[in-house]
Amino acid sequence: MKRSNPIRQLQKNLEELKLDAILISHRPNIFYLTGFTGSSAALLVFRHSAVFLTDGRYTEQAAREVKDVRIRWARDGLMPEAASVASKHGARRVAFESRHITHDMYLWLRRALRSKSQLVPCIDWVEELRAVKTSEEVAKIRASLRTVMAAFEETLPVVRPGIRERDLSAELEYRMKRHGAQKVSFDLIVASGPRSALPHGIASERRVRRNEFLVFDLGAILRGYSSDFTRTVYVGRPSARAREIYKTVAESQASAIAGIGAGVPAAQIDYLARNVIERKGYGRNFVHSTGHGIGVEVHEAPLIGTRSTAILRAGQVITVEPGIYIPHFGGVRIEDIVVVGDRGCHNLTETTREFITL
Ligand code: ZN
Ligand code: ZN
Protein backbone atom coordinates (compact mmCIF):
# COMPACT_ATOMS: atom_id res chain seq x y z
CA MET A 1 0.00 0.00 0.00
CA LYS A 2 1.61 3.29 -1.09
CA ARG A 3 0.32 6.65 -0.07
CA SER A 4 1.45 10.20 -0.74
CA ASN A 5 2.86 12.25 2.10
CA PRO A 6 0.12 12.58 4.77
CA ILE A 7 0.97 16.25 5.40
CA ARG A 8 0.30 16.85 1.69
CA GLN A 9 -3.11 15.17 2.17
CA LEU A 10 -3.94 17.58 4.98
CA GLN A 11 -2.93 20.48 2.74
CA LYS A 12 -5.38 19.23 0.08
CA ASN A 13 -8.13 19.17 2.75
CA LEU A 14 -7.25 22.75 3.68
CA GLU A 15 -7.61 23.87 0.07
CA GLU A 16 -10.88 22.02 -0.45
CA LEU A 17 -12.43 23.46 2.69
CA LYS A 18 -10.97 26.94 2.19
CA LEU A 19 -9.03 26.81 5.44
CA ASP A 20 -5.61 28.39 5.91
CA ALA A 21 -4.14 26.09 8.54
CA ILE A 22 -4.77 23.15 10.83
CA LEU A 23 -3.26 22.84 14.28
CA ILE A 24 -2.44 19.24 15.17
CA SER A 25 -2.24 18.71 18.92
CA HIS A 26 -2.93 14.98 19.41
CA ARG A 27 0.35 13.20 20.20
CA PRO A 28 -0.24 10.04 18.14
CA ASN A 29 -1.17 12.23 15.17
CA ILE A 30 2.01 14.29 15.59
CA PHE A 31 4.05 11.08 15.75
CA TYR A 32 2.34 9.79 12.61
CA LEU A 33 2.96 12.98 10.66
CA THR A 34 6.48 13.79 11.84
CA GLY A 35 8.02 10.82 13.66
CA PHE A 36 8.41 12.85 16.86
CA THR A 37 8.21 10.61 19.95
CA GLY A 38 8.36 13.24 22.70
CA SER A 39 5.45 14.32 24.88
CA SER A 40 5.14 18.02 24.15
CA ALA A 41 4.61 19.33 20.64
CA ALA A 42 2.19 20.87 18.19
CA LEU A 43 2.19 20.92 14.42
CA LEU A 44 0.80 23.73 12.31
CA VAL A 45 0.10 22.72 8.74
CA PHE A 46 -0.45 25.56 6.25
CA ARG A 47 -1.45 25.12 2.62
CA HIS A 48 2.17 25.21 1.43
CA SER A 49 4.28 24.65 4.52
CA ALA A 50 4.29 23.24 8.03
CA VAL A 51 5.84 24.33 11.33
CA PHE A 52 6.64 21.96 14.20
CA LEU A 53 6.61 23.44 17.70
CA THR A 54 8.13 21.96 20.83
CA ASP A 55 9.52 23.15 24.15
CA GLY A 56 13.12 23.49 25.28
CA ARG A 57 13.36 19.92 26.60
CA TYR A 58 12.79 18.48 23.14
CA THR A 59 14.51 20.75 20.63
CA GLU A 60 17.46 18.39 20.25
CA GLN A 61 15.29 15.27 20.01
CA ALA A 62 13.06 17.03 17.45
CA ALA A 63 16.10 17.92 15.35
CA ARG A 64 16.92 14.21 15.17
CA GLU A 65 13.41 12.84 14.65
CA VAL A 66 11.51 15.44 12.64
CA LYS A 67 12.46 15.62 8.97
CA ASP A 68 11.18 17.94 6.25
CA VAL A 69 9.32 20.24 8.66
CA ARG A 70 10.63 23.50 10.10
CA ILE A 71 11.17 23.20 13.88
CA ARG A 72 10.47 26.10 16.22
CA TRP A 73 11.15 26.39 19.92
CA ALA A 74 7.97 27.49 21.69
CA ARG A 75 9.48 29.57 24.50
CA ASP A 76 6.21 30.91 25.82
CA GLY A 77 4.13 27.75 25.56
CA LEU A 78 2.81 25.75 22.63
CA MET A 79 -0.57 27.43 22.18
CA PRO A 80 0.63 31.07 22.34
CA GLU A 81 3.46 30.17 19.95
CA ALA A 82 1.08 28.37 17.60
CA ALA A 83 -1.21 31.40 17.60
CA SER A 84 1.67 33.75 16.89
CA VAL A 85 2.98 31.58 14.02
CA ALA A 86 -0.53 31.33 12.55
CA SER A 87 -0.96 35.12 12.75
CA LYS A 88 2.43 35.74 11.13
CA HIS A 89 1.37 33.49 8.25
CA GLY A 90 -1.77 35.60 7.90
CA ALA A 91 -3.98 32.56 8.57
CA ARG A 92 -7.60 33.68 8.89
CA ARG A 93 -9.38 30.36 9.17
CA VAL A 94 -7.50 27.97 11.47
CA ALA A 95 -8.76 24.42 11.99
CA PHE A 96 -8.05 22.55 15.22
CA GLU A 97 -8.56 18.97 16.44
CA SER A 98 -11.66 19.54 18.52
CA ARG A 99 -11.55 16.05 20.05
CA HIS A 100 -7.98 16.46 21.24
CA ILE A 101 -7.76 19.89 22.76
CA THR A 102 -8.58 20.89 26.30
CA HIS A 103 -10.89 23.78 27.04
CA ASP A 104 -7.92 25.65 28.52
CA MET A 105 -5.88 25.19 25.34
CA TYR A 106 -8.83 26.41 23.30
CA LEU A 107 -9.17 29.54 25.42
CA TRP A 108 -5.44 30.19 25.11
CA LEU A 109 -5.67 29.98 21.35
CA ARG A 110 -8.80 32.10 21.22
CA ARG A 111 -7.17 34.82 23.30
CA ALA A 112 -3.88 34.73 21.44
CA LEU A 113 -5.51 34.88 18.02
CA ARG A 114 -7.93 37.59 19.21
CA SER A 115 -10.36 38.58 16.50
CA LYS A 116 -7.86 38.18 13.68
CA SER A 117 -8.64 34.54 12.93
CA GLN A 118 -11.55 32.18 13.11
CA LEU A 119 -11.11 28.79 14.83
CA VAL A 120 -12.81 25.91 13.01
CA PRO A 121 -13.33 22.55 14.77
CA CYS A 122 -12.21 19.47 12.79
CA ILE A 123 -12.61 15.79 13.54
CA ASP A 124 -10.55 12.78 12.45
CA TRP A 125 -8.55 14.33 9.60
CA VAL A 126 -5.37 12.52 10.59
CA GLU A 127 -7.23 9.49 12.02
CA GLU A 128 -8.79 8.95 8.56
CA LEU A 129 -5.33 8.88 6.98
CA ARG A 130 -3.95 6.65 9.72
CA ALA A 131 -6.66 4.02 9.19
CA VAL A 132 -5.09 2.80 5.92
CA LYS A 133 -1.56 1.51 6.48
CA THR A 134 1.47 1.48 4.22
CA SER A 135 3.38 -1.78 3.87
CA GLU A 136 6.06 -0.32 6.20
CA GLU A 137 3.43 0.26 8.86
CA VAL A 138 2.04 -3.27 8.46
CA ALA A 139 5.59 -4.60 8.89
CA LYS A 140 5.93 -2.64 12.15
CA ILE A 141 2.63 -3.96 13.50
CA ARG A 142 3.67 -7.50 12.56
CA ALA A 143 7.05 -7.08 14.28
CA SER A 144 5.30 -5.76 17.38
CA LEU A 145 2.86 -8.69 17.34
CA ARG A 146 5.69 -11.21 16.95
CA THR A 147 7.26 -10.10 20.24
CA VAL A 148 3.92 -10.83 21.91
CA MET A 149 3.36 -14.21 20.25
CA ALA A 150 6.89 -15.31 21.16
CA ALA A 151 6.46 -14.19 24.78
CA PHE A 152 3.11 -15.99 25.00
CA GLU A 153 4.51 -19.26 23.67
CA GLU A 154 7.51 -19.07 25.99
CA THR A 155 5.34 -18.33 29.01
CA LEU A 156 2.83 -21.19 28.58
CA PRO A 157 5.17 -23.78 30.18
CA VAL A 158 5.31 -21.60 33.30
CA VAL A 159 1.53 -21.73 33.80
CA ARG A 160 0.49 -24.06 36.62
CA PRO A 161 -2.05 -24.01 39.43
CA GLY A 162 -0.87 -21.69 42.22
CA ILE A 163 0.92 -19.12 40.07
CA ARG A 164 -0.35 -15.55 40.40
CA GLU A 165 -1.77 -13.69 37.40
CA ARG A 166 0.65 -10.86 38.11
CA ASP A 167 3.65 -13.21 38.01
CA LEU A 168 2.51 -14.33 34.57
CA SER A 169 2.10 -10.73 33.38
CA ALA A 170 5.60 -9.85 34.66
CA GLU A 171 7.00 -12.90 32.85
CA LEU A 172 5.20 -11.91 29.65
CA GLU A 173 6.34 -8.29 29.78
CA TYR A 174 9.94 -9.32 30.40
CA ARG A 175 9.90 -11.73 27.48
CA MET A 176 8.19 -9.24 25.15
CA LYS A 177 10.97 -6.78 25.90
CA ARG A 178 13.64 -9.44 25.40
CA HIS A 179 12.11 -9.96 21.96
CA GLY A 180 12.46 -6.26 21.16
CA ALA A 181 9.27 -4.60 22.41
CA GLN A 182 9.73 -1.05 23.74
CA LYS A 183 6.90 -1.36 26.23
CA VAL A 184 3.46 -2.85 26.71
CA SER A 185 0.67 -1.15 24.77
CA PHE A 186 -1.78 -1.48 27.70
CA ASP A 187 -1.90 -3.05 31.17
CA LEU A 188 -1.64 -6.74 30.33
CA ILE A 189 -4.77 -8.78 30.88
CA VAL A 190 -4.21 -12.10 32.60
CA ALA A 191 -7.59 -13.20 33.91
CA SER A 192 -8.15 -16.60 35.48
CA GLY A 193 -11.27 -18.49 36.59
CA PRO A 194 -14.24 -16.22 37.34
CA ARG A 195 -12.06 -13.20 36.47
CA SER A 196 -11.92 -14.43 32.87
CA ALA A 197 -15.54 -13.25 32.63
CA LEU A 198 -14.23 -9.68 32.93
CA PRO A 199 -13.41 -8.47 29.42
CA HIS A 200 -10.78 -6.16 30.95
CA GLY A 201 -9.43 -8.28 33.80
CA ILE A 202 -6.02 -6.69 34.30
CA ALA A 203 -3.60 -9.13 35.97
CA SER A 204 -4.30 -9.33 39.71
CA GLU A 205 -2.97 -11.09 42.81
CA ARG A 206 -5.26 -14.05 42.14
CA ARG A 207 -3.64 -17.44 41.89
CA VAL A 208 -4.53 -19.67 38.96
CA ARG A 209 -6.47 -22.79 39.95
CA ARG A 210 -7.07 -26.13 38.34
CA ASN A 211 -10.03 -26.55 35.98
CA GLU A 212 -10.59 -22.99 34.89
CA PHE A 213 -10.16 -20.66 31.93
CA LEU A 214 -7.18 -18.34 31.69
CA VAL A 215 -7.42 -15.36 29.31
CA PHE A 216 -4.32 -13.57 28.07
CA ASP A 217 -4.88 -10.25 26.26
CA LEU A 218 -1.48 -8.81 25.48
CA GLY A 219 0.02 -6.01 23.44
CA ALA A 220 3.39 -4.40 22.81
CA ILE A 221 4.69 -1.26 21.20
CA LEU A 222 7.59 -1.57 18.78
CA ARG A 223 8.93 1.34 16.69
CA GLY A 224 5.83 3.30 17.66
CA TYR A 225 3.33 0.65 16.52
CA SER A 226 1.00 -1.36 18.72
CA SER A 227 -0.10 -4.96 18.71
CA ASP A 228 -3.05 -6.63 20.42
CA PHE A 229 -3.43 -10.37 20.92
CA THR A 230 -5.76 -12.61 22.93
CA ARG A 231 -5.73 -16.32 23.61
CA THR A 232 -7.76 -18.27 26.13
CA VAL A 233 -6.31 -21.48 27.52
CA TYR A 234 -7.67 -24.00 30.01
CA VAL A 235 -5.81 -25.19 33.07
CA GLY A 236 -6.93 -28.77 33.68
CA ARG A 237 -9.66 -30.81 31.94
CA PRO A 238 -12.35 -28.64 30.36
CA SER A 239 -16.01 -29.56 30.86
CA ALA A 240 -18.35 -30.03 27.90
CA ARG A 241 -19.71 -26.54 28.54
CA ALA A 242 -16.23 -24.99 28.55
CA ARG A 243 -15.45 -26.75 25.27
CA GLU A 244 -18.69 -25.59 23.70
CA ILE A 245 -18.05 -21.97 24.67
CA TYR A 246 -14.53 -22.07 23.28
CA LYS A 247 -15.68 -23.69 20.04
CA THR A 248 -18.43 -21.09 19.62
CA VAL A 249 -16.01 -18.18 20.01
CA ALA A 250 -13.54 -19.79 17.59
CA GLU A 251 -16.32 -20.31 15.02
CA SER A 252 -17.55 -16.76 15.51
CA GLN A 253 -14.07 -15.40 14.86
CA ALA A 254 -13.56 -17.60 11.80
CA SER A 255 -16.91 -16.50 10.39
CA ALA A 256 -16.01 -12.80 10.80
CA ILE A 257 -12.52 -13.23 9.31
CA ALA A 258 -13.97 -15.09 6.30
CA GLY A 259 -16.19 -12.07 5.57
CA ILE A 260 -13.46 -9.41 5.65
CA GLY A 261 -12.47 -7.61 2.45
CA ALA A 262 -12.41 -4.14 0.91
CA GLY A 263 -15.88 -2.68 0.38
CA VAL A 264 -17.53 -4.72 3.16
CA PRO A 265 -19.34 -2.70 5.86
CA ALA A 266 -17.61 -3.03 9.24
CA ALA A 267 -21.04 -3.61 10.80
CA GLN A 268 -21.45 -6.71 8.63
CA ILE A 269 -18.25 -8.19 10.08
CA ASP A 270 -19.63 -7.56 13.54
CA TYR A 271 -22.87 -9.25 12.49
CA LEU A 272 -21.01 -12.32 11.16
CA ALA A 273 -19.26 -12.75 14.51
CA ARG A 274 -22.31 -11.97 16.64
CA ASN A 275 -24.67 -14.21 14.69
CA VAL A 276 -22.67 -17.37 15.47
CA ILE A 277 -22.69 -16.54 19.18
CA GLU A 278 -26.39 -15.58 19.21
CA ARG A 279 -27.42 -18.80 17.49
CA LYS A 280 -25.76 -20.76 20.31
CA GLY A 281 -27.75 -18.74 22.85
CA TYR A 282 -24.86 -16.63 24.15
CA GLY A 283 -25.82 -13.35 22.47
CA ARG A 284 -26.19 -11.52 25.79
CA ASN A 285 -22.75 -12.73 26.86
CA PHE A 286 -20.92 -11.04 23.97
CA VAL A 287 -20.73 -7.62 25.56
CA HIS A 288 -18.37 -5.64 23.32
CA SER A 289 -17.61 -4.82 19.70
CA THR A 290 -16.01 -7.39 17.42
CA GLY A 291 -12.86 -5.40 16.74
CA HIS A 292 -11.02 -2.17 16.09
CA GLY A 293 -8.35 -0.64 13.94
CA ILE A 294 -4.80 -0.77 15.32
CA GLY A 295 -1.61 1.11 14.52
CA VAL A 296 -0.02 4.07 16.27
CA GLU A 297 -2.73 3.59 18.91
CA VAL A 298 -4.11 0.29 20.17
CA HIS A 299 -7.64 1.43 19.40
CA GLU A 300 -8.12 3.48 16.27
CA ALA A 301 -10.36 3.66 13.22
CA PRO A 302 -12.26 1.74 12.02
CA LEU A 303 -14.46 0.38 14.79
CA ILE A 304 -15.91 -3.04 13.99
CA GLY A 305 -19.19 -2.85 15.88
CA THR A 306 -22.95 -3.07 15.58
CA ARG A 307 -23.36 0.64 14.98
CA SER A 308 -20.21 1.13 12.91
CA THR A 309 -20.79 3.05 9.66
CA ALA A 310 -17.30 2.40 8.24
CA ILE A 311 -16.76 0.53 4.98
CA LEU A 312 -13.57 -1.55 5.06
CA ARG A 313 -10.72 -0.42 2.80
CA ALA A 314 -7.70 -2.35 1.57
CA GLY A 315 -4.71 -1.68 3.82
CA GLN A 316 -6.69 -1.22 7.01
CA VAL A 317 -5.39 -3.27 9.92
CA ILE A 318 -8.06 -4.48 12.33
CA THR A 319 -8.53 -6.86 15.22
CA VAL A 320 -11.19 -9.58 15.29
CA GLU A 321 -11.95 -10.50 18.89
CA PRO A 322 -15.33 -11.98 19.74
CA GLY A 323 -15.88 -13.26 23.28
CA ILE A 324 -18.37 -14.94 25.58
CA TYR A 325 -18.43 -13.91 29.24
CA ILE A 326 -20.44 -15.80 31.84
CA PRO A 327 -20.43 -14.26 35.33
CA HIS A 328 -19.10 -16.60 38.09
CA PHE A 329 -18.18 -19.19 35.43
CA GLY A 330 -15.61 -17.66 33.15
CA GLY A 331 -15.01 -16.20 29.73
CA VAL A 332 -13.34 -16.86 26.41
CA ARG A 333 -11.94 -14.37 23.92
CA ILE A 334 -9.77 -14.99 20.86
CA GLU A 335 -8.17 -12.00 19.15
CA ASP A 336 -6.22 -11.83 15.90
CA ILE A 337 -4.95 -8.93 13.81
CA VAL A 338 -5.73 -9.00 10.08
CA VAL A 339 -4.86 -6.76 7.14
CA VAL A 340 -7.82 -6.00 4.87
CA GLY A 341 -7.10 -6.94 1.25
CA ASP A 342 -8.86 -6.07 -2.01
CA ARG A 343 -10.31 -9.54 -1.64
CA GLY A 344 -10.25 -11.30 1.68
CA CYS A 345 -7.67 -10.48 4.31
CA HIS A 346 -4.28 -11.55 5.58
CA ASN A 347 -4.03 -12.78 9.17
CA LEU A 348 -0.89 -11.53 10.96
CA THR A 349 -1.50 -13.67 14.05
CA GLU A 350 0.30 -16.97 13.65
CA THR A 351 -0.40 -18.51 17.07
CA THR A 352 -2.82 -21.46 17.00
CA ARG A 353 -6.51 -20.85 17.59
CA GLU A 354 -6.96 -24.45 18.79
CA PHE A 355 -8.14 -24.87 22.39
CA ILE A 356 -4.93 -25.14 24.42
CA THR A 357 -5.24 -27.16 27.63
CA LEU A 358 -2.41 -27.17 30.16
ZN1 ZN B 1 -6.79 -7.18 23.10
ZN1 ZN C 1 -8.30 -5.45 20.88
Average pLDDT over residues 335-346: 98
* Cβ neighbourhood burial of 318 (10 Å; 0-12, 13-18, 19+): buried
Q: How far is the CA of 272 from the centre of ligand 1 (A)?
A: 19
Compute the distance between CA of residue 303 and CA of residue 124 in angstroms, rounded to an integer.
13
- Ligand having the closest approach to the CA of 290: 2
Q: How far is the CA of 293 from the centre of ligand 2 (A)?
A: 8
Q: How far is the CA of 289 from the centre of ligand 2 (A)?
A: 9
Average pLDDT over residues 180-191: 98
Among the listed residues 180, 205, 179, the one whose alpha carbon sits nearest the alpha carbon of residue 190 = 205
Q: How far is the CA of 51 from the centre of ligand 2 (A)?
A: 34
In which residue ranges of the chain is CATH 3.90.230.10 found? 135-357
Q: How confident is the model at residue 95 (pLDDT cuts 50, 70, 90)?
A: very high
Q: How far is the CA of 257 from the centre of ligand 2 (A)?
A: 15
Compute the distance between CA of residue 234 and CA of residue 356 in angstroms, rounded to an integer.
6
Compute the distance between CA of residue 340 and CA of residue 262 in angstroms, rounded to an integer.
6
State residue 264's pLDDT score.
Answer: 98
pLDDT at 3 over 70: no
- Ligand having the closest approach to the CA of 334: 1
Check residue 322 and report its DSSP letter: -
Q: How far is the CA of 227 from the centre of ligand 2 (A)?
A: 8
Strand partners, 235: 212
**b or e along 296-314 (b: 16 or more beta carbons within 10 Å of the residue's beta carbon)?**
bbbbbbbbbbeebebebeb
Is the domain spanning 6-130 CATH 3.10.580.10? The answer is no
Average pLDDT over residues 154-171: 98
Average pLDDT over residues 277-286: 98
User: Taken in order 7, 11, 17, 22, is the CA torsion positive or negative?
Assistant: positive
115 or 178: which carries more pLDDT confidence? 178
In which residue ranges of the chain is CATH 3.40.350.10 found? 6-130
Average pLDDT over residues 151-177: 98
**Residues 6-28: pLDDT tens digits?**
999 999 999 999 999 999 999 99
Q: How far is the CA of 122 from the centre of ligand 2 (A)?
A: 26
pLDDT at 162 over 70: yes
State residue 343's pLDDT score.
Answer: 96
Q: How far is the CA of 208 from the centre of ligand 2 (A)?
A: 23
Q: What is the CATH number of domain 135-357?
A: 3.90.230.10
206 or 114: which carries more pLDDT confidence? 206
State the number of CA atoms in the 13 A half-sphere of 163 facing the CB: 19
Give yes or no for a contact between 168 and 183, defined as CB atoms under 8 angstroms apart: no
- Mean pLDDT over all residues of the chain? 96
Q: How far is the CA of 37 from the centre of ligand 2 (A)?
A: 23
Residues by chain with Cβ below 5 Å of ion ligand 2: 228, 319
Q: How far is the CA of 319 from the centre of ligand 2 (A)?
A: 6
Among the listed residues 330, 333, 327, 346, the one whose alpha carbon sits nearest the alpha carbon of residue 289 = 333
Give yes or no for a contact between 19 and 95, defined as CB atoms under 8 angstroms apart: yes
Return the H-helix or E-strand segment holding 226.
strand 225-226
State residue 38's pLDDT score.
Answer: 95
- Ligand having the closest approach to the CA of 148: 1
Q: Looking at 88-102, 106-120, 244-258, which range is the least confident one?
A: 106-120
State residue 115's pLDDT score.
Answer: 74
Residue 194, preceding peptide bond in cis (omega within 30° of 0): no
Q: How far is the CA of 290 from the centre of ligand 2 (A)?
A: 9
pLDDT at 297 over 60: yes
Average pLDDT over residues 216-233: 98
Share of residues in the chain with pLDDT > 70 (%): 99
Q: DSSP assignment of 133-191, as one string?
A: PPHHHHHHHHHHHHHHHHHHHHHGGG--TT-BHHHHHHHHHHHHHHTT-SEESSPPEEE
- Ligand having the closest approach to the CA of 337: 2
Compute the distance between CA of residue 128 and CA of residue 131 in angstroms, rounded to an integer.
5
Please work out, in degrees rounded to the nearest 5, the angle formed at the alpha carbon of residue 220 by the alpha carbons of 216 and 224. Answer: 160
Check residue 68 and report its DSSP letter: S
State residue 112's pLDDT score.
Answer: 83
Q: How far is the CA of 345 from the centre of ligand 2 (A)?
A: 17
Average pLDDT over residues 299-324: 98
State residue 113's pLDDT score.
Answer: 85
Give yes or no for a contact between 348 and 213, defined as CB atoms under 8 angstroms apart: no
Q: How far is the CA of 336 from the centre of ligand 1 (A)?
A: 9
Q: How far is the CA of 293 from the centre of ligand 1 (A)?
A: 11
Q: How far is the CA of 230 from the centre of ligand 1 (A)?
A: 6
